Amino acid sequence: MTPLSLVGARMPSHTIAALSDASNGLRRFSRLPRIGKALCPVYSRASSSWSRNDVAQQRRLSLALRHYQPCSIRPASLFSTSTTRRLKLENGESGSETRTEQNSTASTPSKLASTLKSTLKLDKPRHEQIYNIPNLLTFSRLVATPVVGYLIIHNQHLYAFSLFAYAAISDLLDGWIARRWNLQTVVGSVVDPMADKFLMTTLVTCLAVNGSLPMPLFVLILGRDVSLAASAIYYRYASLPAPKTMARYWDFSLPSAEVHPTNISKFNTFLQLSLLGTLLCTNLLHDPSATSSAAGGILTSIQELLGGEGGVQTMIQGISAIVASTTIYSGLEYTWSKKAVVILGGDEALKRKQGFRGRMIMASGFGSFIALAVYLWYNGRTEEDVKKAVEKK
């Protein structure tokens, strides 16, 4: 007989069952691999002697367990169900962390697979269909602009006016077609305003060279555009985030400043185009091929309604004075308005400093052109007075 059976002869049956359970648990615990960390104390019914006041004894054991620090070992899959129940950790967060790590470990392969799939997926680059009617009209206007300038300088006013009329009509038509049939493209949004500005600059320069546009007004119109371009170059460089390289400077996908044209500037552009169109029409009266055409009679009748050649010159001088006033006012508005150019970024002190410098560049540049225009106008008036004095004599 074993010692356990001998003890069992003197003990009740339920005590023997408790001892057998404890011995089985210890035997299973001995099969576990040894770990360098200290194990939590395991208490079972076999660790205390049997007595009738077992309730008070279990209370003392629970009080004693409070003095032990939480165990750092984590239940592994080798533990049986009964042993795992006995080795429950006092800190409930450690068990939740273990489950979280196991879940993250289990989901790691799926995350890696999805990441690799998204990384290796090669999306086809989207190409815009730029060969459409609005873009063709815009490019044709861009090509026709130098031809218009050449014809104006060589006094071919009928052909120059015809190409100018085509450019004006195509400017209205390409925008309407693009909006009507949803044919807007990035290339069109860039080339269209560039073609308009190129046409304006070419007409102003060639009409000034031809003598149709007064030189002081030419200086004002061209000086405003040049001053705006110089200040825009500074705004772009100053507000561009570091590193300031040429590649990043011309990369317009990195916005650094926003330009908001003023209402007077838009109205001034309309008046300038009206003046240029009027000058081209008056030049037709001095072109024999235009006066001898079918539209020659209409032009002559319009000139007579305006008071003859003197009336036409008075009308042009009035429009030129209005254009000069709006050009000066619109240019100077960019020097004091802080809303015309908005610099992006979070440093308000730096933005105020950059905005002040940009406005000063605009003021100094445009102020110089205004002074030059006043000088040319004064000399022109002086020469006219001299000619009149000579004619009277």
Per-residue pLDDT at 79: 40
User: Chain-centre distance of CA 320, in angstroms?
Assistant: 39
Give the pLDDT of residue 120.
Answer: 44
Closest to 90 (Cα-Cα) out of 116, 67, 106: 67
Number of separate domains in the chain: 3
CA distances from 22 to 63, 83, 358 (A): 22, 11, 88
On whether residue 112 sits in a domain, the answer given is: no
Q: Are residues 292 and 233 in the same domain?
A: yes
Q: Rounded to whole angstroms, how far apart are CA atoms 376 and 215? A: 7
Q: What is the span of the domain harbouring residue 351?
A: 212-393
Q: What residues form DSSP beta bridges with 16?
A: none
Q: By CB neighbour count within 10 A (0-12 exposed, 13-18 middle, 19+ buried), where does 362 fall? A: buried
Distance (Å, whole) CA 256 – CA 276: 35
> 343 with 257: CB under 8 angstroms?
yes
**Amino acid (one-letter) located at 3:** P
- Contact yes or no for 233/364 (Cβ under 8 A): no
The predicted pLDDT at position 347 comes to: 80
159 and 279, same domain (yes or no): no
pLDDT at 184: 82
Choose one of 183, 210, 237: the last residue of a domain.
210
The rounded distance, in Å, linking the Cα atoms of 81 and 353 is 73
Last residue of a domain, one of 210, 235, 266: 210
**Residues 242 and 388 both lie in one domain:** yes
pLDDT in tens, the chain (393 residues): 444 444 444 555 555 565 555 555 555 545 544 444 444 444 444 444 444 445 455 555 555 544 444 444 444 444 444 444 444 444 444 454 445 445 544 455 565 556 545 544 444 445 567 788 988 999 999 999 999 999 999 989 989 999 999 998 998 898 899 888 888 886 777 688 888 889 999 999 999 998 899 999 999 999 999 998 899 889 888 888 888 888 888 876 677 777 777 889 889 988 998 899 899 988 888 888 777 877 778 888 888 888 888 888 899 999 999 999 999 999 999 898 888 888 887 788 888 888 899 999 999 999 999 999 999 999 988 887 777 777 776
Write down the pLDDT at residue 128. 63
One domain, residues 348 and 250: yes
Q: What is the pLDDT of residue 299?
A: 80
Domain edge (last residue) among 153, 188, 210: 210
Residue closest to 225 by CA, chosen among 330, 146, 128, 125: 330
Provide the 8-state DSSP code for 251: -
* DSSP assignment letter at 235: H
| pTM metric for this prediction | 0.62
Looking at the structure, do residues 327 and 267 belong to the same domain, yes or no? Answer: yes
Tokens of 53: 């006041």
Cα–Cα distance measured from residue 111 to residue 104, given in angstroms and rounded to the nearest whole number: 10
Q: Are residues 228 and 370 in the same domain?
A: yes
Residue 107 covered by a domain: no
- What pLDDT score does 303 carry? 83
Give yes or no: residues 221 and 291 share one domain: yes
Instruction: Report how far residue 138's alpha carbon sits from residue 173's, in angstroms, rounded to the nearest whole number.
Output: 10
Token representation of residue 369: 């052109």
**280 residue type, one letter:** L
Pairwise CA distance, residues 326 & 268, whole Å:
6
